[in-house]
Amino acid sequence: MIIYRSFILSIMILIMPALGVSKPLSLEAAIKMAQEHSFTIKSARYDSSSARYSYQSAKSSRFPSLSLSATSYRVDKLQKVEVIPGGIEIGSKDNYQADFKLILPLFTGGRISNQIKSRKAAWQGQSYNLSAARLAGAYQCRLAWLSANMRAALVRSAERSLKRLEIIREDVNNLHINGLADSVDILDAELACQKANEMLLEARTNHRHALIRLAELTGIGDETSLVLEDNIAEPDTLRIELSGLSPEDIARPELKVAGAQIQTARHAVGLNKAAYFPSINAFGGYSIGKPNRNYFEADWNDYFSAGLTLNWEFNLGGRSVHDVRSARHIFYSAQMNQKALEEMLMTQAKTAAEDFRLAYSEFEIAKKEYEITGQKFRLGREKQRAGTMSVNRLLELEAEHAAAEQMYHASRINFYLMESGYLYAIGSTGIYGGL
């Protein structure tokens, strides 16, 4: 029997997609889909790859460079040297020349090393930009998924409110038939139902808007096929220690990007200082051609050469000094930008922590209000049926209960929204997980 049930379950799992039965989209699954779909993340990934190849290109500057120069041409008239009767022609009418040269940098004053370090820092900065894009993408998807759940809860709340009002309207109609309610009561109940219908339409529209946003982020495209998990539990604790928040607790990739920019600026100073020193290169060459160096015989000949080259440029206006000072001040600016970013992110984290703490308190209050208004409505319902409470007062109690119910559901999910904001503010990897 157990084997038979397992077989049936396996068959159902296989045929459920074919029947159009979709599994509810969890928060973790939505974030994963958004990460795979995000064009911003894809762009940041290409930027990181580009910076890595640029770094590899800079490293290649340490290796020798081999160059080839080749020419071929013909001249119709050669020069003659009249040293003997008839003269001697210099050169060849058909000319062919090929030169190979191998150059190895020996000393560049730090040009190559600082360029390599600068591009490595730029590559690291782009990698951190990719991490920042992934973190922001997860945060945006988290907000969209929670907002869609909140809107769905508000739709269900509006539907329950409309159902209660329709029951009240039916009761009032029955009372009117028996002469226990007047036409004004009927109109009040009908008006309340119409307002509830209007609120329900608005709630459904807002829900569709939230689904469209989530479908865009996840790449699903068709929001009508989205079915979300809605088993969001009530928060019973803050779950996160908010006291004693320090700069060391902030792990935002943007801070590492700023650090990489500082390193890039630091190496730019060294790169400009390299202008104070000469560049020395070793070279070796091979030349072959016709007539090449033999101008008196139109034959092929070749030769090898080797040596050193020195290049040292001086600008009499102090250009190198000014370039170094400019680069140094850019370095100082990058340091100040990092400190400003640290201060701003710390402020955001503290603010998010306070909002998170407030969200939990608001949920506790909203839950209590929801329970109280529910009790009031049930008591009022009994009194109205007993004829000791007016229909108008019962409608007021229902409206109060409906508002409290919506506030309860909104604050319940708002707790997780504020938690997400706090996780993003401190750069926690918990933002990629579920609730």
Q: Is the model's pLDDT at 19 over the cut of 70?
A: no
Express each pLDDT in 355-383 by its tens digit. Answer: 999 999 999 999 999 999 999 999 998 88
Q: Note whether 117 and 70 are same-domain residues.
A: no
Please indicate, yes or no, if residue 78 is contained in any of the structural domains: yes
394 to each of 180, 248, 313, how far by Cα in Å?
Answer: 15, 56, 93
Identify the band that residue 388 occupies on the pLDDT scale cut at 50, 70 and 90: confident
Express each pLDDT in 277-323 by its tens digit. Answer: 999 999 999 999 988 887 777 788 899 999 999 999 888 888 999 99
User: What gap in Å lies between CA 248 and CA 244, rounded to an integer?
Assistant: 11
The per-residue pLDDT for 293 is: 81
pTM reported for the whole predicted model: 0.83
Identify the band that residue 240 occupies on the pLDDT scale cut at 50, 70 and 90: low
Q: Note whether 223 and 267 are same-domain residues.
A: yes
Q: Note whether 234 and 135 are same-domain residues.
A: yes
Q: Note whether 337 and 394 are same-domain residues.
A: yes
Q: Note whether 230 and 336 are same-domain residues.
A: yes
Q: What is the CATH number of the domain that holds 102?
A: 2.20.200
Task: Provide the phi-psi class of 264: left if phi over 0, else alpha when psi is between -120 and 50, else beta.
Answer: alpha
Please indicate, yes or no, if residue 9 is contained in any of the structural domains: no
User: What gap in Å lies between CA 380 and CA 372, rounded to an integer?
Assistant: 12
Q: Note whether 307 and 348 are same-domain residues.
A: no
Residue 178: give the domain boundaries. 25-63+109-277+318-432
66 to each of 101, 266, 288, how far by Cα in Å?
Answer: 6, 32, 16
Please indicate, yes or no, if residue 1 is contained in any of the structural domains: no
The per-residue pLDDT for 5 is: 42
Q: Is the model's pLDDT at 7 over the cut of 90?
A: no
Q: Is the model's pLDDT at 9 over the cut of 90?
A: no
Q: What is the CATH number of the domain that holds 251?
A: 1.20.1600.10
Q: Note whether 297 and 417 are same-domain residues.
A: no
Please indicate, yes or no, if residue 263 is contained in any of the structural domains: yes
Q: Is the link from the previous residue into 291 a cis peptide, with omega within 30 of 0?
A: yes
Identify the band that residue 171 occupies on the pLDDT scale cut at 50, 70 and 90: confident
Q: Note whether 283 and 139 are same-domain residues.
A: no
The per-residue pLDDT for 84 is: 63
Task: Let me know: does 166 contact 192? Beta carbons within 8 Å.
Answer: no
What one-letter code names the amino acid at 318? G
User: What gap in Å lies between CA 178 and CA 172, rounded to an integer?
Assistant: 10
- Extract the tokens encoding 80: 């003659």
Express each pLDDT in 110-167 by its tens digit. Answer: 999 999 999 999 999 999 999 999 999 999 999 999 999 999 999 999 999 999 999 8
What average pLDDT is seen over the chain? 87
